[in-house]
Amino acid sequence: MLKKISVIITVYNVRNYMDMCIESVINQTYRNLEIILVDDGSTDGSSQKCEEWGVRDRRIRIIHKENEGAVGARRAGVEAATGDYIGFVDADDWIEPEMYELMADMGIMENVDIVSVEDIREYEDGRCHVERIKLEEGVYKGEDFLNDILVNMIDTETFFQWNIPLHGWQHLFRSGLLKRNQKLIDLRIRRGEDMLSALSCYVDADSAALLKKPLYHYRQVPKSAKNTATKRNLEGLIYLTNRMLDISRKNLRRHDVVQQEIRYCILYTLLWSAYEICLTADSAELFPYGVPRHSKVAVIGAGAFGTRLYKRIAELGFCQISIWVDSGWDACRKRGLPVEGFDRLNDIEFDYALIAVLDGTMQKQIVEKLKDQHIESEKIKVPMKESISDRRLDEIIHNIETYLGM
């Protein structure tokens, strides 16, 4: 008999998107599913939609709970799950019809701990970006898992590049593995909780299957980036950091490499969610680029990190911003952001072009695009690997604790 997969869909005020999501799950070619809708205190009518779907498909179970955030919602779903394997789908995303069948054929039939696939980031302006698995497709067990997977989850040779994207929703986890790790994630963590869950499971696992097919569609719903990180979010980052360091200390398999990977994860999370703490008024150089104060800069990228970088530089007057550029400039303009297209770069004077993107593959693509526009190589700056040090990370964590009065 086919093993049962529990699919946990966390729902919070996504009424306009959830029909498409749930339809993509109930129409899976792999039929032995348990579908758990966790309504995290929605107020927009999503709760009623959950009930409607519960009537339409007998495989659907519904949990209504008070709002606690993503960690609490996922924990409730994991605790209720009865499947042999557990996966997550966010209620504003959708999946390909054959996703779970292919994951079962690749990994569940091989009895592995984790099965991972690629995802497609879907932007509101019609653009999409496939987030690739950089390692070879296949099944990894024993020493192969230890030497080829565990120490290569993150490319530590570049500033930051996922070799296996560690989002919570593009994996199937063996039930027992996920249950014991999910309960260790602090409910107060507000950002990075899905990465922490996947990372915890990978470090605790003994086998995995990698399927290099983009089967999960991740909807990039624009969210406004605030000038300052909220106190609650910063407190969550401390709890996330402490849990990651705890994972590092307790992992005895290739400790040195895994520890470096985990510290990369911490800094990556801090950059895109709390850059205000990373760059302070008394910083000697623009972190993490090594660019001198008062330089004329072009900021390339208007995602979460790029927006925070732009606003923090402007807030401190750290550098003179000549232009802000993104390939999706039209959508950015509609959101009220003063973003220009790449074609404007050759009309503007600047000392450095700061690539404000944290994904290593996208960084390389942007570098080539700038060179094609005859931007001198010495002007192009990507986040510097040399800026990542234990001392620097400790300084940032200290800044957060000082800000919070801890």
311-345 pLDDT tens trace:
999 999 999 999 999 998 998 999 899 999 999 99
Residue 124's pLDDT is: 81
Question: Residue 34 corresponds to which tokens in the numbers above?
Answer: 């348990």
**pLDDT tens digits for range 10-60:** 999 999 999 999 999 999 999 999 999 999 999 999 999 999 999 999 999
Residue 354's pLDDT is: 98
Does pLDDT of 223 surpass 60?
A: no
Q: How many CA atoms lie within 13 A of 290 on its CB side?
A: 11
- Considering only CA atoms, which of 349, 347, 331 is closest in space to residue 339? 331
Instruction: Please name the helix (run of DSSP H) or strand (run of DSSP E) that holds residue 317, with its range, or none.
Output: none
Question: In 10 A of CB 313, how many CB atoms?
Answer: 22
* CA of residue 283 relative to chain centroid, distance: 27
- 62 near 37, Cβ under 8 Å? yes
Question: Residue 282 corresponds to which tokens in the numbers above?
Answer: 């008394």
pTM of the model: 0.86
For the chain, the average pLDDT equals 91
d(CA 355, CA 359): 10
Residue 161 CA: distances (Å) to CA of 264, 292, 358: 10, 26, 8
Cis amide prior to 165 (ω within 30 degrees): no
Instruction: Please name the helix (run of DSSP H) or strand (run of DSSP E) that holds residue 136, with its range, or none.
Output: none
Q: Rounded to the nearest 5 degrees, what angle is found at the Cα of 107, between the Cα atoms of 105 and 108?
A: 80
* pLDDT class of 219 with cuts at 50, 70, 90: very high
* CA of residue 45 relative to chain centroid, distance: 27
Question: Residue 38 corresponds to which tokens in the numbers above?
Answer: 């966790």
Question: Strand pairing of 5-11 and 85-90?
Answer: parallel
For 205-241, letters b (16+ CB in 10 Å) and e give bbbbbbbebbbbbbbbebeebeeebeeebbbbbbbbb
